[in-house]
């Protein structure tokens, strides 16, 4: 292990390290903690300039219920209705493409694989005008469906990279054994490969959930107004509505950030596996 395990150093070092950890962490998260502190202050604190002192009263419930009384729940709901179908769609499509590219040898295999990877890295702006036009032409502008369709298509690039590498690392003998038994190829996919992909599916789902939840660019390109916009875009109009009311803007930001954070803490193992498994072989 590197650096040298702290247990092997002197008692003083160990205590020093243990004391340093929370301090460094507080510094690292200071900007966020400041917002959390803002979100429980009464608005009078901001008027008298009491930004950093002890709050004159704790208004957590009042501030947060103000947020829930606004359009915020709508935006959050939209975010869920956009994110969940995207996760299902992208994972389903990439299980199939990953299977095709990871199991079969055929001409063009690597070319298609690299096309998916390259597509996943292109700047959004090169797609913006045509995708917006296409969405308008299909009558899906300013709908959640329009956003979902695009997200599924785009995320398929990254998901395919991930799934293909995962499937390629599975023992190929399993598939050969199934073939010798005369099992149809689609059954091999369904009964042999898919059950083995559960960890990859979990990891990818958590990751895509976070990516899509946090998307802002496509939300403002393909939607406007509260009937379709997700919370990342909604928070800017929320902030315009409550301009300079920092206690409410802070509470709103915290609520908007919460679902992916919860997802991360609940599914931490999968999340980190997702970030690294597709990448670091």
Partner 1 sequence: MATTSQWNKTLAKKGWYKRNEIAVTPWLFLVPGLIMFAIYVVFPIFQSFRISLFKWDGLGPLATHGEYIGMANYEKLLTRDRSFNISLWNNLKWLIFYLASIPAGLFIALFLNQTVRGIRLYKSLFFFPFVISQIVVGLVFTWFYDPQFGLFNGIIGFVGFEPINVLGDPTLSTYGVIAAGLWPQTAYCMILYLTGLNSVDPEQIEAARLDGAKGIRMLWHVILPQLRPATFIAFVVTVIGSLRSFDLISIMTNGGPFGSSRVLSFYMFEKSLSEYGFKMGYGAAIAVILFLIMMVFIGYFLWRMYQDEKAEN
Dihedrals phi, psi of 107, to nearest 5 degrees: -65, 135
Residue 12: CB minimum distance to partner 1, A? 15
Pick the binder of partner 1 from 19, 77, 122, 177 (CB under 8 A): 122
Q: What distance lies between CA 155 and its chain's CA centroid?
A: 11
Query: Least CB distance from residue 22 to partner 1, whole Å?
Result: 8
Cα distance between residue 220 and residue 194, in whole Å: 36
CB 220, min distance to partner 1, A? 8
| Closest to 90 measured CA to CA, from 126, 71, 53, 116 | 116
Q: Check binding of 238 to partner 1 (CB under 8 A).
A: no
Q: Is 224 in the site for partner 1 (CB under 8 A)?
A: no
Distance CA 102, CA 196 (A): 14
Q: Which 162-191 residues touch partner 1, going by CB under 8 A? A: 184-186, 189
- Helix, strand, coil share of the chain (percent; to 5): 75, 0, 25
Shortest Cβ 4–partner 1 spacing (Å): 8
Q: Which stretch binds partner 1 (CB under 8 A): 53-61, 62-70, 196-204, 216-224?
A: 216-224
Q: Which tokens is 149 given?
A: 């369709």
CB of 130 to partner 1, least distance (A): 4
Q: Which of 19, 77, 115, 266 binds partner 1 (CB under 8 A)?
A: 115
Note whether 55 and 45 are within 8 A (CB): yes
3-state SS, residue 106: coil
R_g of the chain, CA atoms, integer Å: 24
DSSP output for 73-107: HHHHHHHHHHHHHHHHHHHHHHHHHHHHHHH---T
18 touches partner 1 (CB under 8 A): yes
Kindly indicate which of the ranges 54-62, 68-76, 197-205, 256-264 contains the residues binding partner 1, using the contact rule CB under 8 A: 256-264
Pick from 42, 55, 119, 199 the residue near partner 1 by CB under 8 A. Answer: 119
Footprint (CB under 8 A) of partner 1, residues 127-166: 127-134, 149-150, 152-154, 156-157, 160
CB of 30 to partner 1, least distance (A): 6
Q: Does 235 bind partner 1 (CB under 8 A)?
A: yes
Enter the tokens of residue 53. Answer: 């002192």
249, 251, 267, 270: which one binds partner 1 (CB under 8 A): 249
Q: Which of residues 30-69 bind partner 1 (CB under 8 A)?
A: 30-32, 34-35, 38, 49, 51-52
Q: Which of 13, 19, 25, 196 binds partner 1 (CB under 8 A)?
A: 25
Q: Which residues contact 217 (CB under 8 A, 6 or more apart)?
A: 124
Q: Nearest approach, Cβ of 171 to partner 1 (angstroms)?
A: 15
Helix or strand or coil: residue 243? coil
């Amino acid at each position: 292990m590197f650096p040298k395990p702290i247990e092997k150093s002197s008692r003083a070092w160990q205590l020093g390290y243990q004391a340093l950890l929370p301090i460094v962490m507080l510094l690292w998260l200071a900007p966020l903690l400041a917002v959390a502190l803002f979100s429980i202050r009464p608005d009078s604190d901001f008027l008298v300039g009491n930004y950093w002192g002890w709050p004159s009263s704790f208004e957590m419930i009042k501030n947060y219920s103000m947020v829930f009384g606004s359009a915020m729940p709508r935006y959050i709901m939209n975010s869920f209705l956009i994110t969940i179908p995207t996760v299902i769609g992208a994972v389903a499509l990439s299980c199939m493409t990953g299977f095709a590219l990871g199991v079969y040898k055929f001409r063009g295999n690597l070319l298609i694989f690299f096309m998916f990877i390259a597509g996943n890295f292109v700047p959004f702006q090169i797609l913006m005008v045509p995708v917006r036009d296409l969405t308008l032409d299909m009558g899906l502008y300013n709908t959640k469906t329009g956003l979902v369709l695009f997200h599924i298509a785009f995320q398929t690039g990254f998901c395919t990279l991930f799934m293909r590498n995962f499937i390629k690392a599975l023992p190929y003998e399993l598939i050969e054994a199934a073939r010798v038994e005369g099992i149809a190829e689609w059954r091999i996919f369904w009964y042999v490969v898919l059950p083995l992909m559960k960890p990859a599916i979990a990891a990818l789902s958590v990751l895509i959930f976070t990516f899509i939840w946090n998307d802002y660019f496509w939300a403002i390109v393909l939607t406007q107004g509260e009937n379709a916009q997700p919370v990342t875009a909604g928070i800017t109009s929320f902030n315009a509505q409550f301009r300079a009311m920092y206690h409410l803007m802070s509470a709103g930001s915290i609520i908007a950030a919460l679902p992916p954070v919860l997802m991360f803490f609940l599914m931490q193992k999968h999340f980190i596996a997702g970030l690294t498994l597709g990448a670091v072989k």
